[in-house]
Structure 1
Amino acid sequence: MSLVGIPNAVEEFSVEWLNQVLPAFDPTLPLVSKCSARASETPGQTAEIVFLELQWAAEDPSDLARLPTKMIAKYTSQNQQVIDEIINVFDQYRRETSFYRDFEAPGLRVPRCYYQAFDPSRQAFVLLLEDLGPAESPSWAISSQQVSLALSKLPALHAKWWNHSLLRDKDYFVQFDDASFFQLGFNAAAQIAGALSEFIEEVSLTEQLMPILAEKQEVMQSAFAQRPFTLVHGDYHAKQLFFETAAGGEFAAIDWQFPFVAQGPWDFARLMVLGLSIEERRAKEQELMAAYHQALVALGVSDYSEEDLAKDFRFGLVISHMINVIAIGSTDISLVAKECSDLGVEWKDVMLYRGQAALEDWQVLPFIKTL
């Protein structure tokens, strides 16, 4: 094994490795007697995924009934461009392993974490997670009903951590006043936006907005600092969500690589805009936003008006679009394009045009210029 405790290839997820790491989760677990490991056929954008099937050296039927026979492992991307341009810059591996170490029950369902490890000297990591099956992710082909359900789960997360001082102590969260992070993000998005027209049509709004965001970074962060904050998933979209199926399972959110301490509507904006067609979003956004606001109030959030929500939603549109622009320019976008095509979805619509339409509808460019 090239890194102690951190596999770097599918075959390194062995019986021996599992029996080394699982006692840290529960020292009463029996030994694993057999394990088969299979790489995901759908490559992750920032990490590799492995499906594990386990057998246990346990004879008591009651023990066998409680033991998981499937697990999911995430480990270091084998794409050096991803490491150089994304992970080394934005530190997702440290952020996600730290999140799973400290937040077992953040306010919405997350996979149980059996083991996590991170080596900062090599930007290497591993997560050993609960298999959420028979729940399934719709990937980019999420339905409007699933979007509504996932949005309805956000108030419990956001209300639980509303202005909670503990969040400000976590250096692995992206804090709303982290000048270095936002400078990197906005500058990268501005640079990438300047080249988008070489391979994507109708990008003028993105070309205009991203450089202005880079110029207005300090002003925007000053505005963030005046807003209430909470725990924000940071990348709350269809591929990160699992839903109950006819066979069972339950809703859950995965991929906590970009947890923010920021405004809750950032999560809301990201899912609603990426998950709904432009027409669906226009038809449903006011109803969905009203339901989100009402749920926050019912859960104890006070002094937060619908006007406050609208302002934070606009900021959320900005952050979501920035993330998408960086993803288009710094990851292998052909993976997203193929996955979308296989699902009958147009990747440019999901990753760019839906966001641009929302930015236009909500007059975000004039809003930013007035800050």
Structure 2
Amino acid sequence: MTSVTQIPRHPHDVTREWLSGALGVEVASVDVLPVGTGQTGATYRVSATYAANPAGLPETFVIKLPAGDDAVRDRVVLGYRSECAFYASVADRVAIPIPQVYHCEINAEATEYALLLADCAPAAQGDQIAGCEAGQARLAVTALAGLHAPTWCDERWLTFPGLAMTQLDEAGAKGMGDIARMCAATTVERLGEKLGEADCATLTAALDVITPWVSAPLGRFALIHGDYRLDNMLFSPDGEQIWIVDWQTLGVGLPARDLAFFTATSLRPELRSAIEADLVTAYHCALLGHGVTDYDRETCWQDYRFGVLQAPLICALGLVFATGTDRGDDMFVAMLRRACQAVRDLKTLELVQEVC
């Protein structure tokens, strides 16, 4: 990755001159078009032609820039810092499949950044509202082990400066619990009629125990994606490959929180119930294949059940703090319904009482 002097703030700033500096070759022309949902940033496809291309660089890339809305940008600067930190300092140390990064740059205040990635087209983004099928789910959970296993219980990551979510002390855990309860109340107020009485009750009860949940001394941690769901995954047309994107919620915590968040929000409840035991086994086997030891499948299953509270927590935080859209509300309703059903099916609240 190289450094250039001017970070583009808008798509029209992604000029021939800027791209030439970022890639280290002479670019003859550039075309920039928007792609993606743009919830926490602005994503564009960059098409380039070259005066000369001895390195065989691709003709298209994807570039992420900060959100155009200043209010959104101010809320997610920590996410921008985390994403750049992941590609600059973590990507080469883990085995999770991600797009190749060609340029990564951020200013000191983390208000401006540019992330130039390989274009994985014709790969398609997962559909969070529709949910995924069994084959996609298996790809996702085995890929996840490639993030967790290389960072498993490695204390260097506890103080990694690029984390958006860290392990919390007593005061931090209490603060998170207070925020969670506020988000639960706001979510019930905004979406209660669509969620229904049972899901509202489950959501409220789940977010009422976040303080002991995040404080539980389970003794296992790794780097976690934090928002491991379909919208942050790209699938090849043949269904054989997956790429994980959007590393703005990089954190450290119980690894199975990522696993449970994915299954609880990205699978329809009937499919999740039918295949989740096999998915946990596939994830556990992948961890062992990447070198994790002294972690049996039964403990993995209990961590999975315990980790399900990641789903209602992240959904409620996202609903309250993200910019609202019609599709966004529909997405949160679908995810929360699935998550609350998973909390009930897996008896997660009962497990939290036992553990904490």
Q: 1:185, 1:322 within 8 Å by CA — same for their partners in 2?
A: no
User: What secondary structure does 1:98 align onto?
Assistant: helix
Q: 2:206, 2:312 within 8 Å by CA — same for their partners in 1?
A: no
Q: 1:15, 1:33 within 8 Å by CA — same for their partners in 2?
A: yes
**AA paired with 2:102?**
Y
Q: Aligned equivalents of 2:299 and 2:283: distance in 1? A: 13
Q: Aligned equivalents of 1:155 and 1:129: distance in 2? A: 22
Larger mean Cα displacement after TM superposition, 301-310 or 98-107: 301-310
So what's the TM-score if we normalise by structure 1?
Answer: 0.83
Q: Aligned equivalents of 1:195 and 1:325: distance in 2? A: 8
Compared CA separation, residues 123 and 332, structure 1 to 2 (3 A): same
Q: 2:81, 2:110 within 8 Å by CA — same for their partners in 1?
A: no
Q: What is residue 209 of structure 2 aligned with on the other side?
A: 212
Compared CA separation, residues 242 and 35, structure 1 to 2 (3 A): same
Deviation at 1:44, TM superposition (A): 1.6
Q: What is residue 69 of structure 1 aligned with on the other side?
A: 59
Q: Aligned equivalents of 2:326 and 2:103: distance in 1? A: 28
So what's the TM-score if we normalise by structure 2?
Answer: 0.87
Any residues of structure 2 matched to 1:166-245 within 5 Å, and which?
Answer: 166-173=156-163, 174-177=165-168, 185-200=176-191, 201=193, 202=196, 203-213=200-210, 217=211, 219-224=212-217, 226-245=218-237
Q: Aligned equivalents of 2:140 and 2:256: distance in 1? A: 13
Give the number of aligned pairs: 342
**AA paired with 1:114?**
Y
The answer to whether residue 47 in structure 2 is matched with residue 53 in structure 1 is yes
- What is the aligned-residue RMSD (CA, Å)? 2.6
Of 345, 356, 361, the match for 2:345: 361
Q: What is residue 107 of structure 2 aligned with on the other side?
A: 119
User: What secondary structure does 1:51 align onto?
Assistant: strand
Larger mean Cα displacement after TM superposition, 304-313 or 352-361: 304-313
Q: What are the Cα deviations for residues 233-261 of structure 1, in whole angstroms up to 9, with x where unaligned?
A: 22111111112214x99421111111222
Q: What is residue 32 of structure 2 aligned with on the other side?
A: 37
Of 122, 135, 138, the match for 2:123: 135
Of 302, 306, 323, the match for 1:332: 323
Unpaired stretches in structure 2, ≥5 consecutive residues? none
Q: 2:319, 2:332 within 8 Å by CA — same for their partners in 1?
A: no
Q: What is residue 275 of structure 1 aligned with on the other side?
A: 266
Larger mean Cα displacement after TM superposition, 312-321 or 125-134: 312-321
Deviation at 1:120, TM superposition (A): 4.0
**AA paired with 1:126?**
A
Q: What are the Cα deviations for residues 101-156 of structure 1, in whole angstroms up to 9, with x where unaligned?
A: 11233212111112212224362222111111222223324333211221122223
User: What secondary structure does 1:104 align onto?
Assistant: helix
Q: Aligned equivalents of 2:49 and 2:252: distance in 1? A: 40
Compared CA separation, residues 185 and 70, structure 1 to 2 (3 A): farther
Deviation at 1:178, TM superposition (A): 5.9
Q: 1:327, 1:333 within 8 Å by CA — same for their partners in 2?
A: no
Larger mean Cα displacement after TM superposition, 154-163 or 178-187: 178-187
The answer to whether residue 80 in structure 2 is matched with residue 87 in structure 1 is no
